[in-house]
Amino acid sequence: MKRIILTIVSLFPMLSWAASETPEATASIAIFIGRFHPLIVHLPIGLVSLLFLLELLSRFQKLAIAPNLLQILLWLSFGSSIASVVVGYLLSTSGDYDVELLSLHMYNAYVMSALILAALISFKIYLNKEKKIWQNSYSLFIYSSFVLLMVVGHYGGSLTHGATYLTEYAPWNKKAERKKITNINEALVFPDLILPILEKKCISCHNASKIKGGLRMDEYEKLIAGGEHKDVIVAGKPEDSDLYKLAILPKTEKRAMPPDGKVGLSNQELEIIYWWIEAGAANTQTVASLKPSPKTLQLLQQYFLPAENTSALEKIKVDAVTNEQLTDLRKKGVQAIRLGKDDQKLQVQFLEPSQTTNAELKNLSSIKNNVVYLDLARTAITNDGIKEIGAMKNLNKLYLQETKITDGASNVYGTFKQLEILNFYNTAITDKTLEALSACSTLKKIFLWKTATTKVGQDKLRKALPNLTIDIGLDSTKIIMQTDTLKKI
């Protein structure tokens, strides 16, 4: 069929050059012409509606209409609906449309064109024979063409705007907007977490009207059903799921998603999708019901409620650090990890905390501006060590739990202009340190469990820094997680 149509089209001198080129050129010229479809269809819409109106007027208002005029209108209606069908067919060869809707749209359009032709023939016979039956059959064909016009138009609209376009905002269709998540535990995994990610990076090509690869992602069931390949999502097995497999391919691979150099999924997004598939690719279960590990919870928290954890971090820009530098540090017992793949910001820990003294901190001088998380928990450092790290101007999280530090280090904290999280669990600090901290306006959370601080001192600090969360006694394994319950304390 495409061949026949293209042969006809190529009779037009302007287009013949392209149709005779390579198959790709033929395909693209087909789509080029196809895109005139939305323009052309307005002709039969107007003409058939006019014929319908004239028929009503002549029948019920006895309005006399010149038969010649009617004949012209009928020919124009038939011609323009055939043109629309042909051009529409070319458009459909792009393969971007919902097959079911497309065939409903197309077959109804064929029937409508046939009905207009039938009306034209009836009218001709009626003009010749002047028999009432032909007049009636003409009316019938015109009425039914008009009905079909509505049907065809509806499916056409659904094709371009999505099947729910018409009724989406109807008063009876109260599809509640998902409200913004405030507590990650209560978020529904697909609608709140996965869909928004896909909407950002994938759905522009995988939706109701553009169905690349036969795959739709705008609805859970459609995504699970898959596209041309059925294993888009293999619940429990991210490595076997095309959604994940194609998204982690290097950009140079032909099948990499998204194609054409479009911005792909970030590492965080990939990890979230990996977790989701591995946990069974659930739909409306809550995050809590899937029992994510603390690490996953933290990941979700950081991605979906970033203001809580990474606001200051995002703004920090630091000089480059080489991988050789990091390897050298490792030999000295320092584990320095980049926050992200190409990130220059580092998270630093010592491989053997109990062997780590103030002297070891000197090893960090070459990366002092890159360290944003510093974990000194359970090391043997003292107040003098804190003074040593005072030069780390980008420090964002500092873990000092179970060390020998005291109030003697309290005047150093004010030098960290990005400090948000500070952990003093099981140290000897007192209210004197808290007093010094009241000048650290960037602080968001401190841990004071098992310290010598008092409620009076804590309340004073709370007053000075109203946005600060003070943790005074929860399981220390929960200290990295930031949940609503913690906030209420």
458 touches 436 (CB < 8 A): no
Which residues are CB-contacts of 1 (< 8 A; sequence separation ≥ 6)? 89
Q: State which residue, 105 or 206, has the beta carbon closest to ligand HEC.
A: 206
Contacts of 133 (CB under 8 A, 6+ apart): none
For residue 37, give the amino acid letter: H
Quick check: 238 binds ligand HEC (CB under 6 A)?
A: no
CA distances from 290 to 220, 273, 285, 322 (A): 18, 14, 8, 39
Is 260 a residue that touches ligand HEC (CB under 6 A)?
yes
Q: What is the closest distance, in whole angstroms, from the C-beta atom of residue 216 to ligand HEC in the complex?
A: 10
CA distance 141 to 149: 12
Q: Nearest distance from residue 200's CB to ligand HEC, in Å?
A: 9
Closest distance between ligand HEC and the C-beta of residue 218, in Å? 12
The rounded distance, in Å, linking the Cα atoms of 478 and 487 is 13
272 in contact with ligand HEC (CB under 6 A): no
Q: Which of 54, 57, 47, 58 is nearest to 82 (CA)?
A: 47
| Residue of 208, 257, 316, 419 that binds ligand HEC (CB under 6 A) | 257
Say how far apart CA 243 and CA 257 lie, in whole Å: 8
Least CB distance from residue 23 to ligand HEC, whole Å? 17
Distance CA 479, CA 475 (A): 7
Q: Which stretch binds ligand HEC (CB under 6 A): 66-74, 171-179, 255-263, 437-445?
A: 255-263
| Binding region for ligand HEC (CB under 6 A) out of 114-122, 134-142, 199-207, 417-425 | 199-207
Closest to ligand HEC by CB, 51 or 233: 233
**Complex with ligand HEC: residue 195 or 205, whichever CB lies closer:** 205
Q: Contacting ligand HEC (CB under 6 A), which of 9, 86, 139, 201?
A: 201
CA distance 156 to 38: 9
**Cβ 204 to ligand HEC shortest distance, Å:** 5
Rg for the chain (alpha carbons), in Å? 35
CB closer to ligand HEC out of 86 and 247: 247
Does residue 196 belong to the site contacting ligand HEC (CB under 6 A)? no
Instruction: Based on the shown chain and the rule CB under 6 A, indicate whether residue 200 belongs to the binding site for ligand HEC.
Output: no
Residue 59 within binding range of ligand HEC, rule CB under 6 A: no
Q: State the number of binding residues for ligand HEC (CB under 6 A).
A: 26
Closest contact distance (angstroms) between CB of 269 and ligand HEC is 8
Contact between 205 and ligand HEC by CB under 6 A: the answer reads yes
Q: Out of 41, 187, 189, 243, which residue is the one contacting ligand HEC (CB under 6 A)?
A: 243
CA-CA distances (angstroms) from residue 228 to 212, 232, 249? 9, 9, 19
- Applying CB under 6 A, the span of 85-93, 171-179, 221-229, 365-373 interacting with ligand HEC comes to 221-229
Burial of 60 (0-12, 13-18, 19+ CB in 10 A): exposed
Does position 353 interact with ligand HEC (CB under 6 A)? The reply is no
As a whole number of angstroms, the distance between CA 211 and CA 434 comes to 59
- 233 near ligand HEC, judged by CB under 6 A: no
Q: Is 216 in the site for ligand HEC (CB under 6 A)?
A: no
Residue type, 32: F
Please give the Cα distance from 7 to 465 (Å, whole number). 77
- Give exposure, 79-109, as e/b (b: 16+ Cβ within 10 Å): ebbbbbbbbbbbbbbeebbbeebbebbbebb
The span of 167-175, 178-186, 254-262, 440-448 binding ligand HEC (CB under 6 A) equals: 254-262
246 binds ligand HEC (CB under 6 A): yes
Q: Which stretch binds ligand HEC (CB under 6 A): 17-25, 202-210, 340-348, 392-400?
A: 202-210
The rounded distance, in Å, linking the Cα atoms of 396 and 236 is 36
Q: Which of 129, 255 has the CB closer to ligand HEC?
A: 255
Q: Which residues bind ligand HEC (CB under 6 A)?
A: 201-202, 204-206, 212-215, 226-229, 232, 242-243, 246-247, 255, 257-260, 262, 264-265
